[in-house]
């Protein structure tokens, strides 16, 4: 039997720095990158484009099954492709993020996406970014990281990201949106946002990115 390619998971709430960390790890190891949050955002975008009833779990499952989603890593940037089109900027808005959180509450949608997410596990290995990567999607990962930060710090990071991509938003609005998203993620019945039992938990609030990557790499080196 062929041994499955190794996986390193990075879980945590919105704005904790998962995306930046996972990009750095994927580049360092030259591994495949999976951003599971982007998948839910793609579905949210499709819900708006195709006028899908957000309350119909059956329709959402059919939509999740039918979408052709791909990720490309180009010059330290993750390019999200839907049906061959670059939608990376289209899925960044807070509206899309809030719809994505509502979609993620449906157990059948999450189960349908398990197959899609596990298909990203190809040689030489995978860096998996999400909220249940180490607990549900890849429980056999060789290294599991849970990254978090204070609410205010996460909101500031998110605001900077949105401003950089042309979205004009207020900090107070982002704080409210993140609070709601945190509540949805942490209190859903299926695959809630919690650290894996054997995860390396790191608070990035007051850490520079250099310090974050330094501590994470030290942990990974011990594990592998």
Q: Is 5 annotated as a binding residue?
A: no
- To which residue do tokens 């890849």 refer? 138
Q: Is 55 annotated as a binding residue?
A: no
**Residue 205: is the preceding peptide bond cis (ω within 30°)?**
no
The CB-based long-range contact list for 134-141 (8 Å cut-off, 24+ gap) reads: 134/9, 134/11, 134/195, 134/196, 134/199, 135/11, 135/191, 135/194, 135/196, 136/110, 136/191, 137/9, 137/36, 138/7, 138/9, 139/196, 140/4, 140/7, 141/6, 141/7, 141/8, 141/9
- The phi, psi pair for 55, rounded to 5°, reads -90, -5
Q: Is 36 annotated as a binding residue?
A: no
Q: Is 130 annotated as a binding residue?
A: no
**Residues composing the chain:** 224
Q: Is 37 annotated as a binding residue?
A: no
Q: Is 19 annotated as a binding residue?
A: yes
Alpha helices, DSSP H only, in the chain? 18-29, 36-50, 57-66, 94-103, 107-118, 151-164, 171-187, 209-223
The CB-based long-range contact list for 154-159 (8 Å cut-off, 24+ gap) reads: 154/13, 154/14, 154/15, 154/16, 154/178, 155/15, 157/15, 157/17, 158/14, 158/15
Q: Is 13 annotated as a binding residue?
A: yes
Q: Is 17 annotated as a binding residue?
A: yes
Q: Is 206 annotated as a binding residue?
A: no
Specify binding-site residues: 12-20
Specify binding-site residues for ATP: 12-20
């Amino acid at each position: 039997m062929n041994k499955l390619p190794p996986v390193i998971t990075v879980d945590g709430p919105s704005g904790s720095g998962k995306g930046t960390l996972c990009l750095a790890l994927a580049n360092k190891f030259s591994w495949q990158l999976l951003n599971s949050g982007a998948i839910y955002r793609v579905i949210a975008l499709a819900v708006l484009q195709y006028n899908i009833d957000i309350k119909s779990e059956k329709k959402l499952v059919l939509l999740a099954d039918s979408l052709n989603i791909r990720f490309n890593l180009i010059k330290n940037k993750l390019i999200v492709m839907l049906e061959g089109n670059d939608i990376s900027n289209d899925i960044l808005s807070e509206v899309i993020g809030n719809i994505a959180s509502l979609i993620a509450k449906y157990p059948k949608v999450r189960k349908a996406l398990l197959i899609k997410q596990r298909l990203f596990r190809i040689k030489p290995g995978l860096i998996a970014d999400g909220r249940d990567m180490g607990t549900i999607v890849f429980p056999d990962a060789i290294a599991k990281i849970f990254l978090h930060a204070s609410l205010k710090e996460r909101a500031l990071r998110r605001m900077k990201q949105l401003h950089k991509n042309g979205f004009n938003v207020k900090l107070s609005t982002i704080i409210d949106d993140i609070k709601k998203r945190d509540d949805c993620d942490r209190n859903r019945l299926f695959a809630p946002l919690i650290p894996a039992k054997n995860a390396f938990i790191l608070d990035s609030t007051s850490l520079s990115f250099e310090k974050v990557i330094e501590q994470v790499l030290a942990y990974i080196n011990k594990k592998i």
